[in-house]
A and B are shown apart, each in its own frame.
Chain A
Amino acid sequence: MPETFEPYVVGFLCNWCGYAGADLAGTSRIQYPPNLRAIRLMCSGRVDPTFILTALKRGADGVLVVGCHPGDCHYINGNLRTERRIVFLKKMLSDLGLDYRRVRLEWISAGEGEKFATVVKEFVEEIRELGPNPIEGNANET
């Protein structure tokens, strides 16, 4: 019987929206799976693709980036910068053989605690379907 694999997801949450939304899920006691390790940044625009690649290289099965809804960014349009970077990054990841669904960008406001929990639940399930990160220990077959 194959053991179920527990996905390990790294999250980058923006201080004003994503992180606050996660806090609201907590205050409202909305339960979600314990697979997320969150890192707080001031703005989702701070997310350098290098961070996402580092997380994937180190074994993260999924990477979640959470920012404010367009138009609501505390720093006006930082979230749009990260949106564009992730569009290009996903293309690069596909070309490198990774399933681009391992990187997910979500807009979750400070008032959307319920949405935060739902997104984490759904993402963890999606990653469970995709399987573990193929990077470590992957060698080209002869």
Chain B
Amino acid sequence: MKLRIAVEGLGACAGCEIAILDLHEELVSLLQDLEIDYAPILIDRKSLKENVDVLLLSGSVRNEHDAEEAVRLSEKAKITIALGSCASFGGIPGLANLYATRELLERVYLTTESTDNKEKILPSEEVPPIEKIIKPLKDWVKITYDLPGCPPQPKLIKEMFQMLLNGKPVTLSKKTVCDECDLKREEKKITRILRWGEGELESGRCLLEQGYFCAGPATRAGCEAKCLAVLMPCRGCMGPPENVTDQGAKMVSAIASVAAIDEKSGVDPEQLATMFKDVVGSLYRFTLPSSIISRRVSEGKKR
């Protein structure tokens, strides 16, 4: 009996679907035991007719249609897996939680530089209403497993399929990206915070120690630190490590604890904090909706 799979992208970019294709030849052998019943972009079938064993949902729930689809489709599957960082944590679209809905709509439909909308119309007929905030998929439907990554590593997708075929739970690495990174660690003392492109990049040495913000220490392993292998700092797309709920809080703690650690270094911690330009965007690039605070709030409501 083949394992019946359905794949759907909600507020998605299709990167997760392409990641499945990136299994290349390995997909061919997996397809001996998998039957993909419904997967827009990959398969030309217009709707899901019968129930499946596994539903892979990618993308964020951005509008009411996404929410309805998520509920409708997961009712047709024995288990639902959140595929990719958007589904697992909210992903990059989650950063929209920093803005009020009105601000988002006005920017998209009124104030973007190439938009010509003199009547200042905000569409409401063909376009499904926007959800007020992005929440991770697990807040909408029952999610059995997360397979994070932006996009998820094809290797991890393959392992997921293999675990499912063997009736085993889908497990992820308990380690952090630092475990898979080959850059040399000398001493964790941060005396400056640089933006990508600033300063002199030294190959072979830990990027965080050089002053580049790297989310590796607070990011789950599994990606084989491919970004670090080409000296790109980790952006945290695999989400928080096993024991961590809020990725940003831990990264703040880690960096701040070793920032200007040598009182003699003459670096002022307040100064270092101002060097760090986009704190929320860097710390919660993929995980804002699943973090503790999860969105921007407004002060000033007096009861």
Contact = CB atoms under 8 A, between A and B. Distances in A.
A and B interact = yes
Interface of A: 2-3, 5, 48-50, 53-54, 56-57, 80-81, 83-89, 91-92, 95-99, 130-132, 134-135, 138-142
B66 to A, nearest CB: 17
Contacts of B272: 84, 87
Contact of B252 (A80, A92, A140): A92
B255 A88 contact: yes
Nearest to A138: B297
Interface string B267-297: 0011011001001100100000001110111
A85 B132 contact: no
Nearest to A3: B303
A140 B133 contact: yes
A92 B280 contact: yes
Interface residues of B, number: 40
A81 to B, nearest CB: 5
A2 B269 contact: no
Contact of B302 (A84, A92, A98, A131): A131
Which of B253, B260, B273, B276 is the most central at the interface, judged by chain A CB atoms within 10 Å of its CB?
B253
Given A88-B256, A142-B101, 15 more contacts: A5-B302, A48-B249, A48-B253, A57-B292, A83-B269, A84-B272, A88-B269, A91-B273, A92-B280, A97-B298, A97-B299, A131-B301, A138-B297, A138-B298, A141-B100
24 contacts: A49-B249, A49-B250, A49-B253, A50-B250, A50-B253, A53-B249, A57-B292, A83-B269, A87-B269, A88-B259, A88-B276, A89-B249, A89-B252, A97-B297, A97-B299, A98-B293, A131-B299, A131-B300, A131-B302, A134-B300, A138-B301, A140-B100, A141-B100, A142-B102
B299 A84 contact: no
Contact of A92 (B248, B250, B260): B248
Contact of B273 (A3, A88, A96, A140): A88
B101 A140 contact: yes
B257 A85 contact: yes
A87 B270 contact: yes
B280 A134 contact: no
A5 B302 CA distance: 9
B8 interface: no
A48 B273 CA distance: 17
A142 B122 CA distance: 12
B149 to A, nearest CB: 24
A96 B269 CA distance: 21
Nearest to A142: B101
B246 interface: yes
A98 B297 CA distance: 6
A56 B302 CA distance: 17
B245 interface: yes
Contacts of B300: 131, 134
Given A57-B293, A140-B133, A85 B100 contact: no
B302 A96 contact: no
Scoring B102, B279, B301 by chain A CB atoms within 10 A of each residue's CB, the highest score goes to: B279
